[in-house]
Structure 1
Amino acid sequence: MRTKLIVPVAAAVTAVLTLTACGSESGSGSGAGSDGAGGSVGPEVPVTGIHWTVESVTVEGKKTAAPEGAHIEIGAKGRATGNFGCNHFGADVAVEGDTITVEPADTTLIGCPKDLEAFEKAMTKAFSGKLTLKRADKDLTLTAANGDSIALTRQTDAPLVGTEWTVTSLVTGDTAASLPAGTEKKAHFVFGEDGFVRGSLGCNSFSGTAKISGSEITFGRLATTRRMCPGPEMTLERAVAKVLRGTVTYEQQHRGLSLTAKSGEGLAATAG
């Protein structure tokens, strides 16, 4: 499924992430609560400055698993940024004790597949207003007075080299596309310390040189196996192979990676 971008992705994401914080934060997860049986957030359990991966969202009693890449990061200066599952967002927030108040969010305007649109609507509804914070080990739950909630898990940043990156979407110019049906998690790759990249294009295994310099990666010619696979897998393979060719620019944020060729064709991947 292909959907048209309403605004350029890079510009919109930059705009969201660089907006000046105009909210206030009265604490970094501090407050009178404790992280005991009640699970409330105490002073020893900060919530700011952490990359929280969204596990699921529950709205009006319906629980929906989050797509790859959905996350929230609450800044120490009263600003939360993240991804609703397709579009990036930024929102003013105020953390006081075991509550967080979330103002209406600014978002990029990427046209998304219907399943991602449905999740984004649910998460947008849940991540708003006054929410109670409840922490248990590496998990954090945000709950509204009406019972709507977001389940989060703390994640550490993934290094570019040594991480298995799984392709989650394809981009052509200003058009984003979901992966062909049935090919989810089939294309993946790892940059090695030896200067090689190895993985699967979606059907065939591959390897080749990959020189990382600044914000660019230069791929050498890829050597691949020669298996024939079903149509959707071959479609994905051709698209991924086209991106992993020559010099591309890359952008990495926490556990997400995007590669963009000079032609405008690219892909997005998440740490496996």
Structure 2
Amino acid sequence: MRRHLSATLTAIALLALAACGTESGSGSGGGGADGRNDSARTAEGAGLPLTGVRWTVDSVTADGRRSTAPPGAYIELTEKGRAQGSYGCNRFGAEAVLRGATLTVAPAELTTVACSDEIHGFEKTLSGVFTGRLTARLDGKRLTLTSPAGDTVALVDEGPAPLTGTTWTVTSLTTRDVSESLPAGTEGSAHLTFAKNGRIGGRLGCNTFRGTGKISGQEITVQDLVSTKRLCMGTGGQVEAHLLKVLDGTVTYRLEGRELALTGATGAGVHAVAAR
């Protein structure tokens, strides 16, 4: 398990990034005179409506090899000329200029969380493609960015996720001001869902669980929590023990886009992303 301070100088710099704009929508129309469908646009001479959208990274293709993105990887383009988001584990920010269908991204600043080897490999691939001059193509809610070498980043506008009815996959563990990446091999092992009828359930990292969760304002009161009785050892047991601390009594939540932060009364918490 790796640790980092959530208030590192780099992270503070990223939190100061300019807020996103509000431009949205892709528009549609019939085929043009050249037979091209206008719903898939490169919009020569006109800016694409890409800002103010949280673009979920679907995959990256580099040197002919396609890599599926881990949960939580996303990119936002602001109207103030910034690109920001998460490579999958580390957050980043960079200057970005959109002219017509050309997006030019400067070298990025990023946090330095130690991630699993698999996610680290994806982050290296994504950061290598999402830089320099890229050609943007928008097809409905899907966006493709292509480098001069032909490498691509595939993204989708999934919209914000509601608290209830969404499966939330745990991506990191927190204790007050310290955040830890999940232990190697436990990625995707813990998830939870808050149902509209007040029930909660999911997987703790080893055992499955269920209970009730009364939502009031920014708090969730968790009660009647029961789980299966499988003996959990090693890293799976560590994740489970931490999540049980979070779900003990009153839980404070913060929902932003497709990310959810939960903090228990003891200061133990988790970060989670909406499952795709």
Q: TM-score by structure 1 length?
A: 0.80
Q: Which residue of 2 aligns with 1:156?
A: 159
Give the Cα separation in 1 of the matches to 2:74 and 2:61.
15
Distance change >3 Å, CA 109–CA 44, structure 1 → 2: closer
Residue in structure 1 matched with residue 41 of structure 2 by the alignment = 40
Is the partner of 2:50 in helix, strand or coil? Answer: coil
Residues 6 and 179 in structure 2, CA contact (< 8 A), matched pair in contact too: no
Q: Name the SS of the counterpart of 1:131 in structure 2.
A: strand
One-letter amino acid of the counterpart of residue 176, structure 1: E
Residues 73/215 of structure 1: CA separation in 2 closer, same or farther (3 Å cut): same
Alpha-carbon spacing, 1:180–1:87, altered in 2? closer, same or farther (3 Å): closer
Residues 135-182 of structure 1: per-residue CA shift (max 9 Å, x gap):
22332111111223211122111011221212233334524132562x
Question: Identity rate of aligned residues, in percent?
Answer: 42
1:50 aligns with 2:53: yes
The residue that corresponds to 1:267 in the other structure is 270
Deviation at 1:65? 1.6
Q: Tell me the SS of whatever aligns to 1:48.
A: coil
Change in 2 beyond 3 A, CA 1:80/1:146: same
Aligned to 2:244: 241
State the SS of the aligned residue for 2:112: coil
Partner residue, 2:256:
253
Say whether 1:176 aligns with 2:176: no
**Alignment equivalent of 1:71, drawn from 70, 74, 82:** 74
CA 1:180/1:124 → structure 2, altered by over 3 Å: closer, same or farther? Answer: closer
1:201 to 2:212 alignment: no
User: Please, which moves more after superposition, 79-88 or 161-170?
Assistant: 161-170
Point out the more displaced range, 48-57 or 196-205: 196-205
Unpaired runs of 5+ residues, structure 2, are none
Root-mean-square deviation (Å): 3.2
Contact 1:72 1:80 in 2 (8 A): yes
Aligned length: 261
Q: Distance in 1 between matches of 2:2 and 2:230?
A: 31
Gaps of 5+ in 1: 22-26
Which residues in structure 2 correspond to 1:15-26 (within 5 Å)? 15-20=13-18
* Shift of residue 44, structure 1, vs aligned partner: 9.6
Query: Normalization by structure 2: what TM-score?
Result: 0.79
- 1:221 and 1:100 mapped to 2: Cα distance? 51
